[in-house]
Each structure stands twice: as C-alpha cells, then as structure tokens.
Amino acid sequence: MNALHPDSAVIVVAIGDEALRAEAVHAAAATSHDVLTVTDPRDIPRSLPGAYAVLVDSLMARVVAAAQRTHTASAPVLFLAADPGPIDYEAALACHAESAFIIPAQVKELLASIAAAGAPQEARPGSATIAVVGASGGVGASTFAAALARTQCAADGRALLVDAHPYSGGLDLLLGVEAEPGARWPELTVGDGSIDAADLYRALPSTPDGVAVLSAARSTVADPFRLDKDLLARVVGAAQAGEGICVVDCTPETIPDACTHVVIVVAAEVRSAASAAQLLARLDAARRRCVVVLRQRQWASLSAAEVERIVHSTVLAELPTLRGLTRAVEIGGLPQRLPAPLRKAARAVLEEVGV
C-alpha cells in the first residue's frame, strides 16, 4: 500500500537504508496491518496522522522528529538498525522512539512491540487526561479548564490543572492561589527519573477544595525557562499514574499525546467555527476523542445547529455569557461555587469522558 493517506491500521515504514527497509517491510507485512512505505521525506508529515506504528532508521529519524512537532499523532515510533548494529541511540531519542531493535536479529521483539501498540490501556475508574483548547482567542478555554477541575473535586474527586500556555500569565491567578506556596513550572525539578504522582501533588499549590495547580510563573525579566514537549509529557504521564483527572489548558500545538480527550471551546461566530472545523479534522486524523463546547459571547452570529454543520460534530454543551464572572475572577479567582451554567457544562463533559 503506497497511498499518502493511510487509515488507522497502517504501519508506516520511513527507512532510508534500502536493505533495512526491505527487512522492515517484510516484518510489517507479517502483521494484520497495511504497510505504507515512505521514501520521500516530504511525504512523512502527511503519513504520520492516523498511523498505527512508525518504523524509522537513523537516516529518517530527524525528518520524523521534525514532522512530530507539527502533528499530534500518537502512534509509537520504533527505531530499527541493521544487523549487526550498533544502534544510533542519539537518532532514536531525537524521534522519541519507544524501543530500538537490530534487524533481522530482533524481528520477534519488533513484532511483539507492534502488537502491543494496539493493546487497550487499562483505565483507572474515575480517571481521564483532558486537554482544553480554544478555537479562537477569548472564548474562555482557561476558565472552562479550571471549571472541569473544580467540578471534579466537588464530586469528591481529585484533579490536577496543568498550565501549558507559554504566555498564560498563570492559572494560579485564575484560581486565586497566586500567594500559595508550591512549585511553578520553572521551579519544578524532576531530574531524569520517573515522577511520582503523590510527590507531584504535594509539590504544587492547591485550592481550598483540592485542585492542584501547575502554573506558569510571572517575571518582569527575560525568563530563560521554556516548557518543552518532553517535560510536559512526563508530568502528564505522572498524573495519569495517580488518581483523579488531569486537565491541561493548552494550545492546539501543545496538546500532550497522552490526553484521552480534547475539549474544544468554540465561539458561536463564523471565524471561530471555521477554526474549530480545521482543528477537529486534524485531531480526528490523529484518532483523538474530541468534545465541542459552544461559547455564547455578547453577540453571536451562529446557532448551535449552524456550528454543528460547520464543524461536523455535535455540540455537547453551551456556555452563556455569565454576568459578573469576570469581575469575580479578577477580585478573588474563580468562585469555588461555580455559576450553574458553567457547572452544568463541566458536568456534561466529565460525564462524556467517563468520570
């Protein structure tokens, strides 16, 4: 199979070495999946979304790494080296490979890893990792992310709210815990080992109702800290290993691969709906589970039905303009007792994702 638009069961073989490529195609063909061989680096970005697994070697590793920065594909990358080796681990790390194999000596191990790519992950009851993004500016995505976390805690659950916006100003301000002790992103020291979920919660500031907040910091000087994809992934992974939900307030470009659901907050306006349609198409290609929340601002040009026709998805909940909420947030943070429409929308989303 050599079409450039693979389906969700395709194994992408992006290998520059001809002999190794032949071995990889032979191994992949032994599975029940279609095989897409990509030899032109320009075709790789179009081949990753929706892939079941990606096989790569040192000649293509950096091309795949560059494509990963612009796509949200969550397929595992498996690095191959020709027998007798050695394995170029620097190249394997560059493309975020999950495992590395010497082929054909380790073809059995490679096939086992390909099979494991489709194994269902065991979900913990009451747990989810939810990304919240705005289809356009000013739709209240950060407020809704905080509302999801707060609603989960109100139901005797546990929640971690993660700030993944590079210039957000800090979600601790949104929740009114800016004076609370605890680590912000620049102070979070995680080292090279694994992160324990309980230790992470203890290190962060929390609201009185139990929302742990990992927030951006504020500075009047040029802060050298930059939140990179790997650090965000490690924190989200640690949260998944614990109890409760993890809500990530992020941009479309920073959605962690580990997120089980993506909430898109879209205004009832033409440009916002058009942006949401494009984003939903991209996320659907990457096999993401998406939820649409409609934001009714002061003036709306579209009805919920019209937005659904544009984005080709159902509007799960609607958020009206809430008088006095902006002032309340500015004075003391998001109220612990949420306004009824906001609470209702948050509950609808949590029920949809299964928590």
Smallest CA-to-CA distance from 158 within 87, 211, 83, 218 is with 211
- Name the burial class of residue 298, with classes exposed (0-12), middle (13-18) and buried (19+) by CB atoms within 10 angstroms of its CB: exposed
Q: Boundaries of CATH 3.40.50.300 in the chain?
A: 128-353
CA dihedral of residues 179, 181, 187, 189 (deg, nearest 10): -160
Residue with tokens 């959605």: 255
Give the β-pairing of 128-134 and 159-163: unpaired
Residue 264 has pLDDT above 90, yes or no: yes
> Given pLDDT bands bounded at 50, 70 and 90, which one contains residue 194?
low
> Given pLDDT bands bounded at 50, 70 and 90, which one contains residue 8?
very low
Cis ω before 41 (30° cut-off from 0): no
DSSP type of residue 253: G
Q: What local confidence, expressed as pLDDT, does residue 187 receive?
A: 86
Q: What local confidence, expressed as pLDDT, does residue 219 receive?
A: 72
Residues with Cβ < 8 Å from 36, sequence gap 6 or more? 1, 2, 3, 6, 10, 11, 12, 13, 47, 51
Q: Is the pTM of this model over 0.75?
A: no
Q: What local confidence, expressed as pLDDT, does residue 248 receive?
A: 97
pLDDT, tens only, 220-258: 667 777 888 878 888 888 888 777 899 999 999 889 888
3-state secondary structure of 156: coil
128-353 has which CATH code?
Answer: 3.40.50.300
Mutual angle of helices 18-29 and 107-117, in 10-degree steps: 60
Residue 266 has pLDDT above 70, yes or no: yes
Residue 6 has pLDDT above 60, yes or no: no
Domain covering 11-117 assigned CATH 3.30.200.20 in the classification: no
Section 302-309 average pLDDT: 96
Mean pLDDT of the chain: 87
Section 203-218 average pLDDT: 92
Let me know how long the chain is.
355
Distance CA 242, CA 236 (A): 10
pLDDT, tens only, 121-160: 444 556 789 999 999 999 999 999 999 999 999 988 889 9
Q: What local confidence, expressed as pLDDT, does residue 124 receive?
A: 56
pLDDT, tens only, 15-51: 999 999 999 999 999 887 889 999 999 888 888 877 8
Q: Boundaries of CATH 3.40.50.2300 in the chain?
A: 11-117
Section 302-321 average pLDDT: 96
Section 327-352 average pLDDT: 95
